[in-house]
Amino acid sequence: MNTNIRYSINLKGASLFLRLGARIFKTGIAIILAMSIASLLPDDVGLKALAGVSAVVAMQPSIYRSFKTVSDQALGNIIGAILSVTMVTIFSDNFIIMGVTVIVLIAILFKFNLAHVATLASVTALIIMGQHTGSFYITAFYRFVLVMIGVISSSLVNFVFLPPKFETKIYYNSLNISSDIFMWFKLVLNDTTEFNNIKQDSHNLKQRVEKLEKIYDYYSEERPITKRHIHQQNRKKILFREVVQTTRQAYEVLNKLSRYQNDLYLLNNNFLLQIKLDLDSLTAFHEQILASLSKKATL
């Protein structure tokens, strides 16, 4: 009985994990790590929760973006810290100066192609310019350190804890999308569905294809750890790029079939039959290729 209960709890936990996604759990772990490190700093640091906030903002969907974020966030926060300290030293820390500082900071970040780190850099600048105790410069330094603790923590967690498996995601997403598209091929060509039904599902398919393309974008940015794997990684990227592009093309074919659904049945029966046979052949070959990717079949 206890075994069954534990098994049920494990299944529920796994189901919850799948629904929420690994990124949410990794964000929570990054917050815990960042706050743990921040707790080791002196008590007069203040606002130790800033490390947790920066960990949330800095969490990225891929390992490559995580490590790129470390350097970009460091540069952006250095610019924000220097600018905020300079503005407070010259003009004091009233709210008008704070607003002007953020405007100038964002303009500088855009100039250096660092617009993607503007949010955290602005937060850093505002917190440095806000309420502080003791020496302003020491407080500014500690708050910069807290931000970087969060950024580095999120990158380490993303690398160590459940790193994204883009190849698996691309394969199974493409497989599921293709299966749904091929099902609609048969329904449209056999005139067993209405336009409204396919229109509703077509919007959902479009979102899924766009999500698949976004996953591939993240995957294409990844870099191998060692140089000897570069060639192998590049071959895989080309292969999965073709998978994604083929899935997109299948969706476009479905769009055209649904658009001209009524016109299809005005065609000669032999010609319509040939279209069905050609699509059946293409879909079967596509499924065979996808099967070969998972080593379930050989071409």
**Total Cβ atoms within 10 A of residue 281:** 10
Question: Is pTM, for the whole model, over 0.75?
Answer: no
Q: Minimum mean pLDDT among 137-141, 149-153, 214-218, 222-226: which range? A: 222-226
* 29-80 tens-digit pLDDT: 889 999 999 888 887 777 788 888 888 888 887 777 777 778 888 888 889 8
Each domain of the chain, given as residue ranges in start order, spans: 17-160, 166-293
In terms of average pLDDT, the best of 20-29, 46-55, 158-167, 171-180 is: 171-180
How far is it, in rounded angstroms, from Cα 13 to Cα 56?
Answer: 23
Distances in Å between the alpha carbon of 235 and those of 94, 144, 220, 232, 239?
56, 41, 11, 5, 6
